[in-house]
Structure 1
Amino acid sequence: MGDLLDSMLDLMRRLPPINVEDNVNSLISICPDYADDLLGSVDQPLKLKTDRATGKDYLACDYNRDGDSYRSPWSNEYDPPLEDGTVPSSKLRKLEIAANEAFDTYREMLSRFLSTIYVPLIISEAVLKPKEPSQPTGSWDSIHVFETSERGRQAHYKLTSTIMLNIIATKDAVGEVNLSGSMTRQHEQDGTLTDPTSHVSNIGRMIEDMEIKMRNLLQEVYFGKTRDVVHDLRSIESLERERKQREMQRELMGLMKR
């Protein structure tokens, strides 16, 4: 049983990242008994849902899913409704509300940014919405999972961050260019607890630092290396024009040797 799951996960790592949702659904249709294992192990692009009670948007993912329903962090209700859906304790619910209010203020400073936090595993998720149709379109989905242990006035945090990037650009000269992939990094750090909501500021700083590091790494690896490869292997100039330029260079070199 374990070997089959490992094989499916290994296959997912080799398939195009942009088709991850379709590929997961295909594997689930073949092996329905592994649905929960696949959905819990494979990161997928985040989905946007609207809380029916408050009208506010939130992100749907495996961490607020119970069966086919998703829990809203705003109303603490499942959609579709569940009578026995898992919800956080009153203490953790207060922390969840405080965290979402804080990140919602941060979100308002960035027009194409949406965040949602769920506990008891404190999770922050963000997605960038596509730009105008005339410009390159894409998405930035990031999932930050925290494991937290309190030790008096100190807390130890283990952060696992995953970023899924997808960019599509279309130009007449080069056609369609699709750049997609994912990256996962981990980091551990201690933080001071002055009150129960100190977790919010502690994890906020860790998320911001991690996203800056991962963004810089993505820019260097994805964009920098891709640009170098494209420039070395492909030219938007016509072959006929390049041939004429080479002939002109040879003629000039011949005249200089005389």
Structure 2
Amino acid sequence: MADPFDAALDLLRRLDPASTKRNLTSLISLRPDLEEDLLSSVDVSLTTQRCKKSGRDYLCCDYNRDNTSYRSPWTNEFEPPIDPEDAADLIPSGRVRRMEEALNSAIDVYRELYYEGGVSSAYLWALDEGFAGVVLFKKTASGVGAAGKGGWDSIHVLEVTEAAGKRSAHYKLTSTVILDLGLASPAVDSLSLAGNLTRQTQADIQLSGLRDPEIEQGHVGNIGRMMEDMETRMRNLLQEVYFGKARDVVGDLRSIQPLSEVGREREAHKEVVSKMGR
């Protein structure tokens, strides 16, 4: 008999990617014992929450969640509040928190320049030989009237292992892009395009500076460059390969020319071929 967790993942891969969140909720209701494993393994569209103290929006994911509470990167507090003993293990402090604040400031500028809106959040936590974290972006847009919609979610999970002396570090980055586009109009009827793309990269990068603040800024800069390069590659891949292939398929299946005009062109082509044969 197949493992229930593997069966659930296989089922989600076969269902409509635009309904992954709803399907995931249905599976969890059927098998509550798989909730933690499924939530940590399946990427779904990010949700936004408003920080009550700062008034700023932040993104919610499994990495800043404790049951039904989410940690705000702006205040470093869970909303709603959780037990102080649990919070001590889940809330970063010291150098990790300083890097988290610097990374949030950096990606906020990046988001405004590249996305021209949307919401971004970054969360870090300590490891035995370094730290790990996640950088999140979300942008939604409307198309033609109320009938068009579009959503882009970027999830960058990183793991940083520092070498002895903190002169260099090994960076491992796993990036996932979730795309959801839809349009309904008399011209095209109903069109939906949804899916996700995941890529991974690793790099050993030198760290400049001797003091802790310089090393921390070095980590933030290295993470930002790796993330930017990965997003650029994935955007180009989506545009050139996936969208290009979709255009080819649609172009072969549907013609924007009237059937009468297509018939005349075919007849003219046959006439030319017949004359060349004679």
Q: Give the TM-score of the pair, scaled to structure 2.
A: 0.85
Match of 1:221 in 2: 241
Match of 1:53 in 2: 53
Task: Say whether the 8 Å CA contact 2:143–2:150 is kept in structure 1.
Answer: no
For 1:98, give the aligned amino acid: A
**Does residue 1:192 correspond to 2:193, yes or no?**
no
Displacement of 1:69: 1.2
**Does residue 1:147 correspond to 2:159, yes or no?**
yes
Match of 1:98 in 2: 102
> Residue 236 of structure 1: SS of its match in structure 2?
coil
Task: Say whether the 8 Å CA contact 2:111–2:137 is kept in structure 1.
Answer: no
* Count of matched residue positions in the alignment of Structure 1 and Structure 2: 258
Match of 1:26 in 2: 26
For 1:23, give the aligned amino acid: N
Farther-moved stretch of structure 1 (51-60 vs 105-114): 105-114
> Residue 122 of structure 1: SS of its match in structure 2?
strand
Displacement of 1:247: 4.8
Q: Are residues 2 and 246 of structure 1, via their aligned partners in 2, closer, same or farther at CA, if it must alter by over 3 Å?
A: closer
**Does residue 1:127 correspond to 2:127, yes or no?**
no
Superposition pairs for residues 1-258 of structure 1, below 5 Å? Answer: 3-83=3-83, 84-85=86-87, 86-109=90-113, 110-120=115-125, 121-134=132-145, 136-151=148-163, 152=165, 153-193=167-207, 194=209, 195=214, 196-243=216-263, 245-247=265-267
Displacement of 1:198: 1.3
Task: Say whether the 8 Å CA contact 2:59–2:120 is kept in structure 1.
Answer: yes
> Residue 25 of structure 1: SS of its match in structure 2?
helix
Farther-moved stretch of structure 1 (53-62 vs 1-10): 1-10
For 2:246, give the aligned amino acid: T
Moved over 4 A (4+): 247-258
- What is the percentage of aligned positions where both structures have the same residue? 48
Task: Say whether the 8 Å CA contact 1:174–1:236 is kept in structure 2.
Answer: no
Displacement of 1:256: 8.9
Displacement of 1:245: 4.8
Distance 2:138 2:195 in 1: 15
Q: Give the TM-score of the pair, scaled to structure 1.
A: 0.91
Task: Say whether the 8 Å CA contact 1:173–1:236 is kept in structure 2.
Answer: no
Deviations 1:112-144 (A, max 9, x none): 232210011221111122135538421111111
Distance 1:2 1:77 in 2: 41
Q: Structure 2: give runs of 5+ residues left out of the alignment.
A: 126-131
